């Protein structure tokens, strides 16, 4: 358990007088969840009265109801242990699942500053490593350096909002008036101008908890420290808007950690505000169904640190990175020789790619900079490149962004799914040429429908090259909860040079489905290209005839 000792080291730095001689003792007792709290998901269709009666019946209270996945965050009476409450709730026929309010920990390692060069962006051998063991950032910056319309959520310990090299890239909520005590945009959060602090429940996500060591300010700087301003470092995005969503705080006096309920609330907030990508440099070994459901329902790119145990997460998973969800990108860490960092988790099924994560120079609170190690530091490299992708083409789907990142890697024989390390230039390069095979879905009829209606649509596959192409195509629907169901295919087609094939389909909207937005995706993948075309269908209750 190497990671535990490293985390403890951060704690020791924050609380020198308190913790040094007891570092191992504290770290080995790192708690798995918060006492006195429970997360409960009730079965669909259970009445509010029954829920209220069950909760009141065992003396619990509702802390919060999280609408994204309709989850109840409960406070238990002191007479009821989490273990006992789990048994009670799991045995109730009203309950779909109940779980503890798990704690996650940052995947960071501190490192003394010695080589203040950002080798991960452009490696010339300046740190004694291998030239070009980097993400080719200067080449990518010839394509784009980012833009102010891209918002990236950093779900972390907050951010130094006034940092000289970050302040200009801080997100501002256009619908909210600062400091008037009014929820101007009606999103449920008062004066949420620059993100939110879910850990302390206030509108100031400043990175102040000492035990967290400036973690969120560091990850933010890698994504989007202001570029070309003559100060400090540069982010992968010179220009971007960073939304700090603070989840980490000090628990039990010494632990920098984040609870499931705060993580889920932050995911919900980012999703509600339309954010398409988030940075998640944290984890632990407990599986949370609620966290899984929230990530799926967010319908955004969820980039997560693989973890720092030096472990194969196919066998010993860390969450959230190891959930089997299409919208998660799990990131391992490499060094300046393109070798897997000794601390990095890996896994050919559960980890997607690697990115620089050793001796990474970035911003810290108080206009300072320092080198940190960790998959925590690798993750924002991938988020940064996702930000560049969104500035290049805001219409990219979640799967399209993930495909470009995974297929843009430089193959390095690493023990991860792609065997590769992130390459920004390759990834952005996919957008410079017309996709080899494109798919277009055309609705043949209204897109506002009711259960029992028939929908008709046409799917066209076009080969944009002068060569015959084999393409795998399918049509699937994404439900309001983010899960997907295949409608047509997948099937394999051979497209003639510069040819198009198309077909009409019809489907009945099943009776009894929930109302909401159902997105139909056409998808076409060939050897070197991937394309999706989304069409939204609104499912509404049928109006009674008058
Ligand atoms: Ca608000
Ligand atoms: Ca306000
Ligand atoms: Ca700068």
pLDDT of residue 230: 86
pLDDT of residue 15: 30
State the distance from the centre of ligand 3 to the C-alpha of 232, rounded, in angstroms.
Answer: 5
Across the chain, what does the average pLDDT equal? 92
Q: Which ligand is nearest to the CA of 232?
A: 3
pLDDT of residue 195: 98
pLDDT of residue 313: 98
Residue 417 CB coordination number (10 Å): 18
* Chain CA centroid to CA 228, Å: 27
Q: DSSP class of residue 205?
A: -
Q: In the predicted model, what is the mean pLDDT of residues 280-285? A: 96
Q: Where in the chain do CATH 3.30.70.80 domains reside?
A: 33-105
Higher pLDDT, 278 or 23: 278
Q: Are the C-beta atoms of 170 and 178 separated by less than 8 Å?
A: no
CA atoms of 269 and 481, how far apart (whole Å) = 15
Q: Using 50, 70 and 90 to split pLDDT, how confident is the model at 11? A: very low
State the distance from the centre of ligand 1 to the C-alpha of 189, rounded, in angstroms.
Answer: 4
For the entire predicted model, the pTM comes to 0.90
pLDDT of residue 544: 65
Q: Which helix (H) or strand (E) holds 217?
A: helix 215-224
Q: In the predicted model, what is the mean pLDDT of residues 333-339? A: 97
pLDDT of residue 252: 85
Q: Where in the chain do CATH 2.60.40.3880 domains reside?
A: 437-539
Residue 302 CB coordination number (10 Å): 28
Sorted by sequence, the CB contacts under 8 Å of residue 180 that are 6+ apart come out as 191
Write down the catalytic residue from 260, 376, 526, 529: 376
Nearest 5°: the CA angle 84, 87, 92 is 130
Q: 211 phi and psi, to 5 degrees?
A: -65, -20
Residue 116: pLDDT over 60? no
Residue 345: pLDDT over 90? yes
State the distance from the centre of ligand 2 to the C-alpha of 199, rounded, in angstroms.
Answer: 20
Q: In the predicted model, what is the mean pLDDT of residues 307-319? A: 97
Q: In the predicted model, what is the mean pLDDT of residues 293-318? A: 97
Q: Tokens 């049928």 — which residue?
A: 542
CATH class of segment(s) 33-105: alpha beta
Residue 473: pLDDT over 90? yes
State the distance from the centre of ligand 2 to the C-alpha of 194, rounded, in angstroms.
Answer: 11
Write down the catalytic residue from 156, 197, 338, 531: 156
Domain 107-429 homologous superfamily, CATH = Peptidase S8/S53 domain (3.40.50.200)
Residue 13: pLDDT over 50? no
CA nearest neighbour of 171 among 192, 154, 189, 195? 195
Q: Using 50, 70 and 90 to split pLDDT, how confident is the model at 118? A: confident
pLDDT of residue 10: 38
Please report, for the chain, how many H helices and E strands are present, in that order.
12, 27
Q: Using 50, 70 and 90 to split pLDDT, how confident is the model at 543? A: confident
Q: DSSP class of residue 84?
A: H
Please return the burial class of 442, using the count of CB atoms within 10 Å of its CB with bins 0-12, 13-18 and 19+: middle
Residues whose Cβ atom is located within 5 A of ion ligand 2? 176-177, 180, 182, 184, 191
Annotation: CATH topology of 437-539: Immunoglobulin-like (2.60.40)
User: For 29-82, what is each residue's pLDDT tens digit?
Assistant: 789 999 999 999 999 999 999 999 999 998 999 999 999 999 999 999 999 999
State the distance from the centre of ligand 2 to the C-alpha of 183, rounded, in angstroms.
Answer: 5
220 included as an active-site residue = no
CA nearest neighbour of 68 among 39, 38, 31, 25? 39
pLDDT of residue 314: 98
215 included as an active-site residue = yes
Residue 146: pLDDT over 90? yes
User: For 422-463, what is each residue's pLDDT tens digit?
Assistant: 999 999 999 999 999 999 999 999 999 999 999 999 999 999
- 512 to each of 45, 162, 315, 482, 539, how far by Cα in Å? 12, 51, 39, 18, 11
376 included as an active-site residue = yes
Q: Are the C-beta atoms of 333 and 375 separated by less than 8 Å?
A: yes
CA atoms of 307 and 281, how far apart (whole Å) = 8
Write down the catalytic residue from 73, 163, 215, 381: 215
């Amino acid at each position: 358990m190497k990671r535990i000792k490293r985390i403890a080291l951060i704690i020791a730095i924050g609380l020198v007088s308190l913790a040094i001689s007891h570092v191992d003792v504290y770290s080995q007792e790192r708690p798995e969840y918060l006492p006195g709290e429970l997360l409960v998901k009730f079965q669909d269709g259970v009445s509010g009265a029954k829920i209220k009666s069950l909760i009141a019946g065992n003396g619990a209270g509702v802390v919060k109801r999280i609408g994204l996945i309709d989850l109840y965050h409960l406070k238990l009476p002191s007479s009821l242990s989490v273990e006992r409450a789990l048994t009670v709730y799991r045995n109730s026929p009203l309950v779909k699942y109940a779980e503890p309010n798990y704690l996650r920990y940052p995947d960071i390692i501190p490192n003394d500053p010695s080589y203040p060069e950002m080798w991960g962006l452009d490696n010339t051998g300046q740190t004694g490593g291998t030239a070009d063991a980097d993400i080719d950032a200067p080449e990518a910056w010839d394509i784009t350096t980012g833009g102010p319309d891209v918002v990236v959520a950093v779900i972390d310990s907050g951010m130094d909002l006034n940092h000289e090299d970050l302040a200009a890239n801080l997100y501002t909520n256009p619908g909210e008036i600062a400091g008037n005590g009014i929820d101007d945009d009606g999103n449920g959060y008062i004066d949420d101008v620059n993100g939110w602090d879910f850990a302390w429940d206030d509108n100031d996500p400043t990175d102040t908890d000492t035990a967290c060591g400036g973690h969120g300010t560091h990850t933010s700087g890698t994504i989007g420290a202001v570029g070309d301003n003559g100060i400090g470092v540069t982010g992968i995005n010179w220009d971007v808007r960073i939304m700090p969503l603070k989840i980490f705080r000090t628990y039990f006096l010494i632990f920098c950690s984040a609870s499931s309920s705060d993580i889920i609330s932050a995911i919900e907030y980012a999703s509600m505000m339309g954010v398409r990508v988030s940075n998640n440099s944290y984890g632990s070994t407990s599986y949370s169904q609620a966290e899984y459901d929230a990530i799926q329902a967010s319908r955004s790119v969820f980039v997560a640190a693989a973890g720092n145990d030096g472990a194969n997460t196919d066998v010993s998973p860390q969450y959230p990175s190891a959930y089997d969800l299409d919208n998660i990108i799990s990131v391992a860490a490499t060094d300046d020789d393109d070798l897997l960092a000794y601390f990095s988790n890996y896994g050919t099924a559960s980890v997607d790619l690697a990115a620089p994560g050793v001796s990474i120079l970035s911003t810290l609170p108080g206009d300072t900079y320092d080198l940190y190690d960790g998959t925590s530091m690798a993750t924002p490299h991938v988020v940064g490149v996702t930000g560049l992708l969104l500035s290049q083409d805001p219409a990219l789907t979640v799967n399209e962004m993930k495909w470009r990142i995974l297929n843009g890697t430089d193959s390095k024989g690493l023990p991860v799914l792609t065997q590769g390390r992130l390459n920004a230039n390759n990834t952005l390069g996919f957008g410079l040429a017309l996709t080899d095979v494109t798919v277009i879905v055309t609705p043949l009829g209204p897109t506002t429908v009711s259960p029992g209606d028939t929908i008709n649509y046409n799917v066209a596959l076009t080969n944009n090259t002068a060569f015959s192409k084999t393409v795998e195509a399918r049509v699937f629907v994404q439900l309001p909860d983010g899960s997907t169901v295949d409608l047509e295919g997948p099937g394999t087609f051979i497209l003639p040079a510069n040819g198009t094939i198309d077909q009409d389909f019809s489907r009945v909207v099943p009776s009894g489905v929930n109302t909401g937005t159902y997105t139909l995706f056409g998808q076409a993948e060939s050897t070197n290209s991937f394309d999706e075309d989304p069409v939204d269908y609104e499912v509404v209750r049928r109006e009674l005839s008058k």
